[in-house]
């Protein structure tokens, strides 16, 4: 049962202004074919290039992944 007391559920895409597609880190990595993949790779968004000294310790992981690449 969903939060409205109905069976089934609702998709985030039904409520979102822009469609959202969940992808695994491997699926996200596939978008980087043909570009220079910058470290640390596809990781939890909060862990991409953290500067622990600037934020007071290691950041918590979040349920979103990202990566950065450079086209040459």
Q: pLDDT for 20-65, tens place per residue?
A: 788 899 999 999 999 998 888 899 988 887 666 666 777 888 888 9
> pTM of the full predicted structure?
0.61
Instruction: Give residue for tokens 């990781």.
Output: 43
Alpha-carbon distance of 72 to 68, in angstroms, equals 13
Alpha-carbon distance of 56 to 60, in angstroms, equals 12
């Amino acid at each position: 049962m969903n939060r409205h007391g109905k069976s089934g559920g609702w998709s985030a895409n039904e409520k979102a202004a822009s469609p959202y597609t969940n992808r695994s880190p491997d699926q996200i990595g596939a978008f980087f074919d043909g570009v220079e993949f910058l470290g640390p790779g596809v990781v939890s968004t909060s862990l991409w290039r953290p500067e622990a000294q600037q934020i007071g310790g290691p950041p918590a992981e979040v349920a979103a992944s990202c990566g950065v690449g450079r086209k040459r």
